[in-house]
Amino acid sequence: MTQSESLSNSLYADQTHLAERELSAFIAAVAELFGADQARMSAEDWLDESGLMDVSPQSTPRDWRAITIAASIRLANRLDVALHCQGSLGASTTDTQVSPIPSSNCFDTSLVS
């Protein structure tokens, strides 16, 4: 193995470790604040966002943070929709534990005949 390949492998390992730490911290925070279901969906969001961003082996920790921010925006949008739907159905919105939304088309099914 050449010195260049060794350095490249080391950078890749370092970046993988940083990405794992960033994802782990994000998921732990979401799980603590919003529960396991939101944490699972947020992990999927984070991985989706990481695939959308052009992350190179020379990425910086800031790049991983940008992925976390993008996944956080998805979480906030999901929670906002859930709270809006709960409010429009007359449900209490004081609980911070939000269940996953089966559909973005939320309506009171008692109004449908």
Report, as an integer, the average pLDDT of 34-42.
Answer: 97
Question: What pTM value is reported for the model?
Answer: 0.67
Q: Which domain holds residue 51?
A: 3-111
Please name the residue ranges forming H helices in 1-113. 3-34, 36-52, 61-88
* CA angle, residues 41, 44, 48, in degrees to nearest 5: 140
Q: How many domains does the chain have?
A: 1
- 91 vs 78, residue with greater confidence: 78
- 28 vs 51, residue with greater confidence: 28
Q: Tens digit of pLDDT for each residue in 52-87?
A: 886 665 666 668 999 999 999 999 999 998 888 887
Residue with tokens 């979401």: 30
Q: What integer pLDDT is reported at residue 103 of this predicted model?
A: 44
Report, as an integer, the average pLDDT of 17-41.
Answer: 96
Give 5's pLDDT tier (boundaries 50, 70, 90): confident
Give 113's pLDDT tier (boundaries 50, 70, 90): very low
Average per-residue pLDDT for the chain: 79
